[in-house]
């Protein structure tokens, strides 16, 4: 029979882990909301850990890391992928952009120490990007709507992904430490993923050539570790188990 | 003189891919003869039979996480030129940034920057490129990730010389019954933000341009043992009196056809610095030439060595400059020719007609 003190301590630990789980889930919710609001700078500053070994990998974009600062960093990801403005640079068009990530099916584990956690979510996202006609640094022209009167072209597409992340406590706050976003499929909103996969695997003139090199010297620091996207002749992926 | 040049581009600001330009070094006229769709044709290699090979400097190739390599056939028709894709295959890694060919044109060496690896591709009889049959991979050391930026065969064809921009070394691989074994290396000393980027071989000397260091290194080698390099000279590509500038990186090194003039470019400062190279390969007399365009990422000598075609990556322009081989100065003949985001300039071997001679050349090769 456990002593009352031991039982109390056990309950406190379980309560703390339950609380931690809720906080991690809230952190993910905040991430989703701030993405929709285009608050990428705040995401970097307030939701991400300040550790130098923080990493972010998405699809075939490669692994972003701060190990080569000040040359590259996680800010390159938000700048290239979502057009986060960078001081002193010509920044991409912001009007007409939209980034929705909707997390569901959370699977969160808090480690014994209560200091780190791992979580995964399925995510459905909708994005619209915009760039000026004649500038292919955004998406290939095949995916875009015709130019509007100002020469701006838009593309609307689905992105279904699996988010997997590690979290760490810093100053009693949960922060994102490592994030790996696995593609499931991405395709224009008005086209199904089966027909689009056929095009994508036949040609690179589609959005799968995401984050082209362009003439922007920033890119991920490390290559893609693993990449899978839906194709009618490919079997479903088996994602790694939780990190912990 | 009239020449044909191939220009690779980054796929931005309306680029059409690979450009075939006719260039008149007397009048300064430049004209786009043909284009071919290619996404981020980062680097080109030309075979005189009428083939051009390009890297697709991308993160994905047909849905997979690697860049690509493409072979294009160039034909001359009554109504002009046509560049048509022959085939394309995946590269060994992501962001393939450099391609070179063996002297016999039967192999292509494709450097993949992000993965730190080199793919060796055979070229088929019909000019198409095959998937890499051999991959040389560099590995991370002390937390530094490798980045293979350039690979060229040594002049004797015995070794493959591979420049790793982040591991700070030049490695020689010797082909031994189908395998490539390391035969020697030159490890450049710290700091590691120096970054050797490209190499060319001259007379008993190899020249390396360093990206962040903005230096030209002269490395002596012995004809009998070219895998042993020894640094003999180092020149700054930017004059000391110039103010410091962030984002000003050296990019390209080229040697004139007679190996008497060496040139290196620096983006940001928009310089092409030339050096006189003597019979023993010693370089001297740096001359700092301003380019008309912004961002001279790549340039090349015309086959007669009397002019330079310079790509302005950020100004989206091409410039033609006359070369004074005695003084090393460049004099602009023409500038401002619109061509988006040039990343590579290659000349086709000149023919008697002053133009593309692929068919004739191929015919003569077949006959011989």
Higher pLDDT, B225 or B273: B273
ipTM score: 0.86
Separation of alpha carbons B359 and A10, rounded Å? 83
pLDDT given for residue B181 in this prediction: 92
Asked if residue B70 lies in contact with residue B87, where contact means CB atoms within 8 angstroms, the answer is: yes
**Sign, Cα dihedral of B5, B8, B12, B17:** positive
Residue B350 has pLDDT above 80, yes or no: no
Task: Name every chain A residue with its beta carbon within 8 A of the beta carbon of B65.
Answer: 60, 223-224, 226-227
Q: B144 falls in which pLDDT band (50, 70, 90)? A: confident
User: Where residue A61 falls among pLDDT bands split at 50, 70, 90?
Assistant: confident
Q: What is the pLDDT of residue B345?
A: 98
Q: pLDDT class for B150, splitting at 50, 70, 90?
A: very high
* Closest to B168 (Cα-Cα) out of B151, B140, B190: B190
- Neighboring chain A residues of B95 at a CB cutoff of 8 Å: 213, 219
Say how far apart CA B169 and CA B190 lie, in whole Å. Answer: 11
In the predicted model, what is the mean pLDDT of chain B? 91
| pLDDT tens digit sequence for A8-58 | 999 998 999 999 999 999 999 999 999 999 999 999 999 999 998 999 999
What residues contact residue B33 under an 8 Å CB cut-off, 6+ apart? B4, B20, B21, B22, B80, B81
* Best CA proximity match to B313, nearest among B226, B362, B240, B249: B249
CB neighbourhood size of B326 (10 A) = 10
| Nearest residue on chain A to B192, alpha-carbon basis | A68
CA distance B287 to B278: 16
Query: At B177, is the pLDDT very low, low, confident or very high (cuts 50, 70, 90)?
Result: confident
Largest distance between two CA atoms of chain A: 77
Position A202 scores a pLDDT of 76
Q: What pLDDT does residue B304 have?
A: 95
pLDDT at B352 over 50: no
pLDDT confidence bin for B2, thresholds 50/70/90: very high
B336-B342-B348 Cα angle (round to 5): 95
The closest alpha carbon to B166, from B185, B184, B186, B141, belongs to B141
The end-to-end CA distance of chain B, in Å, is 28
Nearest chain B residue to A220 by CA distance is B114
CA dist A232 → A182, A183, A195, A200, B348 (Å): 18, 15, 9, 12, 43
User: Does the distance separating the beta carbons of A136 and B14 come in below 8 Å?
Assistant: yes
In this prediction, residue A79 carries a pLDDT of: 83
Edge to edge, the sheet with strand B80-90 lists: B41-47, B51-56, B68-77, B80-90
Residues from A contacting B (CB-CB < 8 Å) are 60-62, 67, 134-137, 140, 197, 200-205, 208-215, 217, 219-224, 226-227, 229, 231
Question: In this model, does residue A207 exceed pLDDT 60?
Answer: no
Provide mean pLDDT across the span A128-142: 62
User: Is residue A233 pLDDT above 70, yes or no?
Assistant: yes
Q: Is the pLDDT of residue B354 over 50?
A: no
Closest-CA residue to A239 (of A193, A183, A197, A201): A183
More confident residue, A143 or A172: A172
- Half-sphere exposure (Cβ direction) of B200: Cα atoms closer than 13 Å: 20
User: Smallest Cβ distance to B59: which of A61, A140, A205?
Assistant: A61
CA A217 from chain centre, in angstroms, equals 21
For A157-178, the pLDDT digits (tens) are 888 999 999 999 999 999 999 9
Q: Read off the pLDDT of residues A212-222 as tens digits, 9 standing for 90 and up.
A: 444 455 678 89
The contacts of residue B54 (CB under 8 Å, 6+ apart) are: B8, B18, B38, B41, B42, B43, B44, B45, B69, B70, B72, B99
């Amino acid at each position: 029979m456990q002593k009352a003190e031991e039982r109390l301590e056990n309950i406190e630990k379980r309560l703390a882990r339950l609380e931690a789980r809720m906080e991690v889930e809230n952190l993910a919710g905040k991430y989703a909301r701030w993405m929709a609001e285009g608050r990428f700078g705040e995401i970097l500053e307030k939701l991400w850990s300040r550790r130098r070994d923080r990493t972010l990998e998405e699809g075939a974009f490669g692994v972003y890391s701060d190990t080569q600062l000040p040359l590259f960093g996680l800010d390159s990801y938000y700048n290239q992928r979502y057009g986060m403005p960078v001081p002193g640079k010509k920044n991409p068009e912001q009007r007409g952009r939209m980034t929705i990530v909707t997390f569901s099916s959370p699977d969160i584990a808090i480690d014994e120490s209560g200091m780190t956690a791992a979580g995964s979510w399925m995510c459905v996202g909708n994005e619209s990007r915009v760039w000026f006609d004649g500038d292919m640094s955004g998406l290939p022209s095949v995916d875009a709507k015709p130019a509007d009167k100002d020469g701006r072209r838009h593309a609307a597409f689905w992105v279904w992904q699996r988010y997997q992340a590690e979290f760490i406590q810093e100053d009693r706050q949960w922060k994102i430490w490592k994030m790996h976003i696995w593609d499931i499929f991405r395709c224009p909103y008005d086209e199904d993923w089966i027909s689009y996969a056929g095009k994508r695997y036949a040609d690179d003139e589609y959005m799968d050539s995401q984050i082209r090199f362009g003439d922007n010297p920033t890119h991920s620091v490390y290559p893609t570790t693993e990449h899978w996207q839906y194709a009618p002749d490919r079997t479903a992926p088996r994602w790694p188990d939780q990190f912990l | 003189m009239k020449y044909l040049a191939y220009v690779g581009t980054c796929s931005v600001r309306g680029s059409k891919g690979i450009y075939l330009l006719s260039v008149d070094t007397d009048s300064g006229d430049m004209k786009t003869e043909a284009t071919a769709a290619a996404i981020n044709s980062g680097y080109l290699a030309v075979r005189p039979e009428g083939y051009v090979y390009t890297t697709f400097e991308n993160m994905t190739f047909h849905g997979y996480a690697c860049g690509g390599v493409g072979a294009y056939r160039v034909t001359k028709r009554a109504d002009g030129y046509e560049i048509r894709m022959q085939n394309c295959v995946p590269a060994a890694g992501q962001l393939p940034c450099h391609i070179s060919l063996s002297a016999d044109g039967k192999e292509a060496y494709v450097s993949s920057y992000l993965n730190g690896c080199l793919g060796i591709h055979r070229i088929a009889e019909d000019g198409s490129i095959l998937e890499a049959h051999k991959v040389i991979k560099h590995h991370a050391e002390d937390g530094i990730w490798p980045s293979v930026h350039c690979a060229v065969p040594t002049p004797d064809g015995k070794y493959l010389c591979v420049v790793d921009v982040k591991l700070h070394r030049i490695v020689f691989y010797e082909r031994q019954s189908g395998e490539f074994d390391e035969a020697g290396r030159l490890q450049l000393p710290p700091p590691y933000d120096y970054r050797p980027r490209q190499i060319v071989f001259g007379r008993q000397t190899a020249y390396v341009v360093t990206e962040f260091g903005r230096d030209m290194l002269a490395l002596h080698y012995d004809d009998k043992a070219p895998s042993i390099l020894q640094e003999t000279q180092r020149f700054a590509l930017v004059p000391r009196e110039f103010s410091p500038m962030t984002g000003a990186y050296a990019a390209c090194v080229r040697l004139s056809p007679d190996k008497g003039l060496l040139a290196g470019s620096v983006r940001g400062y928009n310089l092409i610095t030339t050096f006189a190279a003597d019979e023993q390969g010693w370089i001297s007399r740096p001359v700092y030439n301003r380019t008309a365009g912004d961002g001279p990422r790549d340039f090349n000598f015309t086959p007669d060595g009397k002019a330079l075609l310079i790509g302005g990556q950020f100004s989206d322009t091409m410039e033609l400059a006359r070369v004074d081989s005695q003084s090393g100065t460049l004099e602009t003949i023409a500038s401002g020719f619109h061509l988006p985001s040039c990343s590579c300039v290659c000349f086709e071997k000149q023919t008697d007609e002053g133009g593309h001679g692929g068919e004739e050349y191929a015919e003569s090769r077949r006959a011989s």
